[in-house]
Amino acid sequence: MRALLLALLLAVALPAQSPGVTYTRLEIAAGSDSATWVPVATIHGAKSGRTVAVLSGAHGTEYASILAAQAVIPRIDAAKLSGTVIVVPLINRASFERMRVHMNPVDEKSMNGNYPGKATGTQTERVLDVIARDVIAKADVVIDLHNGDIDENLRPYSYWTRTGNAAQDSVALELCRAMGLDHIIVRNLDVKNPASTRSASGYALSLGKVAIVAAAGRWARTDVSDIRLLEDGILGVLGQLGMLQRAKPAPLRVTWLGDDARVRADSNVFWSAVVDRGARVKAGQAIGFTSDYWGRKIADVRAPKDGMVTFIRSVPSAWAGATLVTVAELLVRPEPWKKP
């Protein structure tokens, strides 16, 4: 009887899951191609609260953001946490292991462009199906981390992607500010258009969750300043959500960026940039040039609009369709949402 009473008391006193970190693998069975697994760390807080998912490494050679996701795990003190944080530091293991930029080399598909995945699809689709069900579906908030890939000289920024749902959009803005990156790109999303919800953030938004994207780091570098920026940003978001006690940060002075335009290579060429990431450019200004395989110049490449270079190609290799530069319009302040 005493034992039963003790068991009952313990059941009441203890949370469903004792606080701490569990390190697991999401197993993805073989299908038309090979089986794989995805590393996950789940931090169970001492108190109940919301669930935040941190996704990283959909592009497996975006190292700074992958290292930031790993590094933040031991910085989240489960004893002081309210709620749960699910960290997926490297979604695209094959990209990391084979140093294949942008794609999963197993099936040559994007692991940030095929949500919600498919249980009977190729490896990318099977992985995303599991992440959609086991991670995103369980989260209230999704933080999707990226940086400039090996071929992208990117300046740090967050995306505030708006759906037109005022409650969802205002929380996302608070979390973008809490993330602490001082350049915010404002985008509008139509969650009813399936073509717009294939990314992790777009898919999460279409489920009514709050989702932000943050990018810091570039061209295979692992600068501590970029990694720290993202780590501190994640902790800032957890503080803003009341899941961790954090000192109130100084207000962020934001540079707002709007619609962006890309210039892509139309054939296989050599590429040379003549402006840096973050440069403010005018439409028509030369921002780089292409050359042939003998090193003879082919043509200047010009800015497609007035604005800021959010990222510019960082390597000479450029293939037909490769992004050479992205220029985003500078905004005085965000315009109201409008259906894209």
Please state the closest distance from residue 329 (CB atom) to Zn ion, in A.
Answer: 22
Biggest alpha carbon–alpha carbon distance for the chain: 89
CA distances 233 to 43, 81, 95, 141, 282, Å, are 17, 16, 25, 14, 32
CB of 193 to Zn ion, least distance (A): 22
Backbone angles phi, psi at 121, to 5 degrees: -90, -165
Instruction: Give me the least distance between CB of 51 and Zn ion, in Å please.
Output: 23
> Pairing state of beta strands 307-313 and 280-281?
antiparallel
Q: How far is the CB of 309 from Zn ion (least distance, A)?
A: 17
The interface region with Zn ion, picked from 54-62, 200-208, 253-261, 264-272 by CB under 5 A, is: 54-62
User: Which residue of the chain is nearest Zn ion when measured via CB?
Assistant: 146
* Residue whose token pair is 């780089």: 288
Q: Are 109 and 21 in contact (CB under 8 A)?
A: no
**Which one of the spans 56-64, 201-209, 277-285, 305-313 is the region binding Zn ion (CB under 5 A)?**
56-64
Per-residue contact track with Zn ion, 250 to 289, x per CB under 5 A?
----------------------------------------
Question: What is d(CA 29, CA 171) in angstroms, rounded to the nearest whole number?
Answer: 37
Which residues have a Cβ under 8 Å from the Cβ of 305 and sit 6 or more positions away? 261, 283, 327, 329
Least distance (Å) from Zn ion to the CB of residue 200? Answer: 10
Minimum gap (Å) between residue 159 Cβ and Zn ion: 11
Question: Which is nearer to Zn ion, 62 or 260 (by Cβ)?
Answer: 62
Total residues in contact with Zn ion, by rule CB under 5 A: 3
Binds Zn ion (CB under 5 A): choice among 38, 51, 57, 59: 59
28 neighbors 127 (Cβ within 8 angstroms): yes
Sole residue written with tokens 């919600």: 116
Closer Cβ to Zn ion, 95 or 240, answer by number: 95
Stretch binding Zn ion (CB under 5 A), from 126-134, 144-152, 247-255, 297-305: 144-152
- List 44, 93, 100, 146, residue binding Zn ion (CB under 5 A): 146
Neighbours of 174 (CB within 10 A): 14
Contact 26, 64 (CB under 8 A): no
Which residue, 62 or 226, has its beta carbon nearer to Zn ion? Answer: 62
Residues at the interface with Zn ion (CB under 5 A): 59, 62, 146
